[in-house]
Structure 1
Amino acid sequence: MKKPIHHRTTRADVAKEAGTSVAVVSYVVNNGPRPVAPATRERVLAAIKRTGYRPNSVARALASGTTKTYGLVVPNIGNAFIASLAHELQQQALANDMVMLLGDAGDSRKRELQLINNLLGQQVNGLFYISVDRHPYIDVLQASGTPFVMLDRVDPALKVNVIRVDEREASRQVTAHLLSHGYQEVGIICGPAERLNSQDRLCGWRDALLAHGVEERPEWIFHTPYTRDGGYQAAQRMLQGATRPRALFVSNEAQAVGCIRAVSEQGIRVPHDLSLVCFNGTDQSAYHVPSLTTVRQPVREMASTAIRMLTAWKGEDTLSEFSHQLEIGESCGCKLAR
């Protein structure tokens, strides 16, 4: 027995159901350009509901000049901070009657460029962008004429819209908090050496050590991917060394979780035996055991500002810098009885 063939409901079907012309249906769907009598409009809307008609978004975009979509390109959505920022951008976009299309580069620059070109080909109204290694494809975006906002630091000479937190200063502050406990043996688990944000966080750690007169130990600098497994592997390398630090700055939340798992397998307790602070904490930081002392970025405020930047875009470049927040948890040792 042959399956019934279902055809897509068209405006002609709606017009036939409502007893009007296709043109009148178009005026109702597009809210113009010609007025439609209230009674006729109600008849068309009722016909749309009965037939299940859905307007063709591509055709509407061609007619109106807007797709009502934004694009978001990120290095890796598995990163909890990036996921939280993407969530807030999505909510803000929906509140502005826009749809967000997500592009996850999987830490690949080649895939990042492919995603950008695909989103531009879909005529998105604007693009939010975090580059894999802070060497973004600005020339491609500028050539397209599409409004875009960078969601992290880039070279100021590029003259583009940017929202950011000063990651070097934030890293300095959270490391300084760790040093305020009196530790002299302080290491760092940071991101890949070639990443600019890894370099910023490493410089912030060094700034804090220098200000507190603490010696930097090159053997306690561990570069690793921004993942739980990266933190786990870096901690294992640390434990295999001839000496190990008494305190650590870990450059993102996922790395911190992996690090704590690795040291706990060897009976090392955080913060009793190893104090730890991290960068780019999320809501998850408070629910880890121990809870993490971390730097938090104002994700909701950043997302709201980024949406406003695209909405009001007129071709100019704007920098919006946000203050970070130091959130005290258990991992640094503050809450231990003394």
Structure 2
Amino acid sequence: MTGIKEVAQKANVSIATVSRVLSKPETVANETIKKVLEVIEDLKYQPNAAARQLRMSETTTILVVVPDITNTFFSKVLRGIEAVAIKSGYQVLLGDAGNSIERENGYINILRQKKAAGMILLTAGVEASVVEEIAAQYPVVLACEYLEGVDVPTVSIDNISSARKATEHLIKLGHERIGFISGPMNSVLGRDRLTGFYQAMARYNLRVEPDLVQEGSFSYESGYNMMLKFLAYNTVPTAVFAANDEMAFGAINAIEQKGLTVPDDLSVIGFDDIQFASIFKPALTTISQPAFEIGTRAMKLLIGLMKKEEIRKTQYILENKLVLRDSCHKCIR
């Protein structure tokens, strides 16, 4: 029976190198991997099944990169991705960018090293040219976010119109002095939701007070801290639109810490409709994204790219809806 020693001799490498090819291929040059696998096939070495599994993992592992794993919105998107992936024989590798462009670039390098068959980016923090370059060589899909002017398959909602819808809801309740806690301005979601807010205020000829627009980070803490700033002004807003639910929760708790109540003293509206939004007290009025469908649609697109199928439609804008709950009230001031 052929042993690892014979494989190493014929491939003109060490036994340790053969072992690494089978167990830790990322530590071995691609040319060496190819040579060793060819010898394994020729000699019908017993761990041949392991070699096939190595190649299979290169074609069935999907890399999904999220901007921040602590943001619970992405859990539903991931479930949608996995539902399609598992049914189609793929496995999902999750990468948490931690809102770091450097880490996001690091995950992109995994695709360059061919350790994954394709990638779904739930964040678009890196330069558009980088995404365009990697998408020209490997299957890549953007979900939740998008990049202007980049021809990469994308699944998202219209964040501008949905933010406009949320703002108009507050205006129709009689609110005119409205605060806005945005996402980070280096994020397309942060910029788009701010644009929607400005559009709604302009449509109703309402003045946007610069002090009542504060940049958050999509975190609970930033919502809490920005709300404290609003409450420190001589005239506080009657309503606040937070660009995601996590920041809305922080804003509500800051309001209540100051002895005020939502919605009697201030109305608060969020964005995303994460699971906790319906059980938070008060239950949060918010914009609902079809998170699970975003995930399933993105994975189906990626499978099409990996199978080199013709992709006739590359941009999917899914429906969103305003979910009315208890955190908004008619303005009584």
Distance apart, 1:329 and its partner CA:
0.9
CA 54–178 in structure 1, closer or farther in 2 if over 3 Å, else same = farther
The question of whether the paired residues in 1 share the 8 Å contact of 2:83 and 2:296 is answered with no
Secondary structure at the counterpart of residue 258 of structure 1:
helix
The question of whether the paired residues in 1 share the 8 Å contact of 2:125 and 2:187 is answered with yes
1:322 maps to which residue? 318
The code of the aligned residue for 1:236 comes to: L
**RMSD of aligned residue pairs (Cα, Å):** 2.4
Q: Distance in 1 between matches of 2:232 and 2:118?
A: 48
CA 244–55 in structure 1, closer or farther in 2 if over 3 Å, else same = farther
The question of whether the paired residues in 1 share the 8 Å contact of 2:111 and 2:138 is answered with no
Q: Distance in 1 between matches of 2:126 and 2:263?
A: 33
CA 321–71 in structure 1, closer or farther in 2 if over 3 Å, else same = same
CA 307–272 in structure 1, closer or farther in 2 if over 3 Å, else same = same
The question of whether the paired residues in 2 share the 8 Å contact of 1:134 and 1:195 is answered with no
Q: Distance in 1 between matches of 2:192 and 2:58?
A: 38
2:90 aligned residue (91, 98, 103):
98
2:208 maps to which residue? 216
Q: Distance in 2 between matches of 1:179 and 1:228?
A: 25
2:328 matches 1:332: yes
Distance apart, 1:119 and its partner CA:
4.3
Distance apart, 1:150 and its partner CA:
0.4
Distance apart, 1:61 and its partner CA:
4.0
The question of whether the paired residues in 2 share the 8 Å contact of 1:285 and 1:291 is answered with yes
Secondary structure at the counterpart of residue 80 of structure 2:
helix
Secondary structure at the counterpart of residue 241 of structure 2:
strand
- Give 1:44-193 correspondences, 5 Å limit: 56=50, 59-62=52-55, 66-133=58-125, 135-136=127-128, 137-142=130-135, 145-193=137-185
1:263 aligned residue (221, 231, 255):
255
The question of whether the paired residues in 1 share the 8 Å contact of 2:76 and 2:291 is answered with yes
The question of whether the paired residues in 1 share the 8 Å contact of 2:244 and 2:272 is answered with yes
Aligned positions, number: 281
Secondary structure at the counterpart of residue 312 of structure 1:
helix
In the alignment, structure 2 segments of 5+ residues that lack a partner are 1-46
The question of whether the paired residues in 1 share the 8 Å contact of 2:135 and 2:152 is answered with no
Q: Distance in 1 between matches of 2:161 and 2:76?
A: 22
The code of the aligned residue for 2:213 comes to: I
Q: Distance in 2 between matches of 1:167 and 1:54?
A: 50
Aligned-residue sequence identity (percent) comes to: 27
- Give 1:34-53 correspondences, 5 Å limit: none
1:22 maps to which residue? none
CA 146–329 in structure 1, closer or farther in 2 if over 3 Å, else same = same
The code of the aligned residue for 1:76 comes to: D
2:231 matches 1:235: no
Q: Distance in 1 between matches of 2:299 and 2:210?
A: 42
Secondary structure at the counterpart of residue 316 of structure 2:
strand
1:43 maps to which residue? none
TM norm structure 2: 0.78
Q: Distance in 2 between matches of 1:78 and 1:117?
A: 23
In the alignment, structure 1 segments of 5+ residues that lack a partner are 1-52
